[in-house]
Structures are given as structure tokens and as C-alpha cells.
Amino acid sequence: MSKPRVLLADDHKILIEGLRGLLEPEFELLETVEDGRQLVAAVDELLPDVIVADISMPMLNGIEAGRQILKSHPKSRIIYLTMHSDIAYAAEAFRLGASGYLLKRSAAAELVTAIREVLAGGVYVTPPIAKGLMTSSIVGGGMRPATPLTPRQREVLQLVAEGNTIKEIGSILNVSPKTVEFHKYRLMEHLDLRTTAELTQYAVKHGIVQLA
């Protein structure tokens, strides 16, 4: 009987190596990806049984990558393994259709159990987060997205906040620089912001990007 196939997405190589040692006895580990765009492409190509992804990733964060994956592959099982203990992140993850949420500090004790639970058709929530979710009004789809933006606007916002030029963003998104300029202008108009620095501050505040 073949092992369940797991795809790992995280840009911290030391963590990935630790996860390999933890998971390889029970699961087949597919290629590791380091940013959200690589993750979306890898899922399209490999169709893993379970995806274990960080939220804070370059190019496209884990939440936005999850939206794209579940739109194309609605039966995908995504477990978020993250440092974010804020209930809002977990609620947004489950609102978009995630199957699991646990903290990196708990990975050694909980990740294998979480994958087993998700493979069996269940949902796994790390205990420190579960209580908050159960008692919060944001459970059950009540939470609004962190930003009232379209998916394309969130992509552009993250890439701008990460310091990419208009030309670089156009190349990444496969659109013209004029189209990028249009989205950036509409972003600034919609959010009532005037500078790239303000856009970056907004992206950090709302968890769209995490700067080192």
C-alpha cells in the first residue's frame, strides 16, 4: 500500500529538514516549495494528498495561495503550519476551506496526528487555537477578509510591499506594467493611501506580507 503523498511549502530550510525527519517514516514527501506561487504550480502538477503550508511566504502568502488552490482543486486538504497564533488568521484559513491549523512550535507533537486526521476526512485545530475559535463570533464564516480587495489586488499589494518594481510585478503576474500601475492606483485610491510606504505598512498590518 502506497504512503499518503504530502507537499511541504515553507521558505525556512532548517524547518523543512526537521519536518522531513518527522514525516518520512509514514508519508511520501513530494518536492518542497518556498513561495506561494511555486505552491500553486506544484499542486496543479503533483496533486498531493495533503498540503502542509506556512502562511508567511514570499511572492504569494499561504492564505492567498490556498484560495487559488481550492478554487482549482476544491477537494484539496490544506494544513497551515504557522507561527501566527492570532485567532483571526486561523478563522480566515478555515473560512477559505482549510483542513487544519497548527503552530510551528507544536509541529513535533501534533503534525503527524493532524495529517492523519485530515486524511481520514476530519479537521485538525491545535488546542491553543481551538478554544478561541469555538468562543469567537468569527467562527462559521462570520469573519470578513482582512482586506476588502480583489484577489488580484491582494497579489499586487503583496508584491509591491516586498519591494518588487512595476516591471518585475508585471513579469511575475504575466501582465503589462500599465496593468500593474492600474491595480496599484486603484489600491491606493480604494484604501485612501498615498505612497508605496503606506501600502507596505497596510500589507504588514493585515498579515498580507511579513517583512524580516
pLDDT confidence of residue 84: 84
pLDDT given at position 212? 54
| Per-residue pLDDT tens digits for 151-172 | 888 889 989 988 899 999 999 9
**11 and 45 both lie in a single domain:** yes
User: How many other C-beta atoms can be found within 10 angstroms of the C-beta atom of residue 85?
Assistant: 14
Does 75 share its domain with 108? yes
pLDDT score, position 207? 75
Same domain? For 79 and 163 the reply is: no
The answer to whether residue 16 sits within a structural domain is yes
Q: Using alpha carbons, list the distances in angstroms from residue 204 to 49, 111, 197, 211.
A: 32, 27, 11, 7
* pLDDT per position as a tens digit, 4-32: 999 999 988 888 888 988 999 999 999 89
pLDDT at 141: 44
pLDDT of residue 167: 93
Identify the segments of the chain with pLDDT beneath 70.
Answer: 1, 135-147, 210-212
Domain that holds residue 60: 5-135
Contact 53/118 with Cβ under 8 angstroms? Answer: no
Please give the pLDDT value at position 121: 93
Number of domains in the chain: 2
Same domain as 183, residue 122: no
Its pTM stands at 0.79
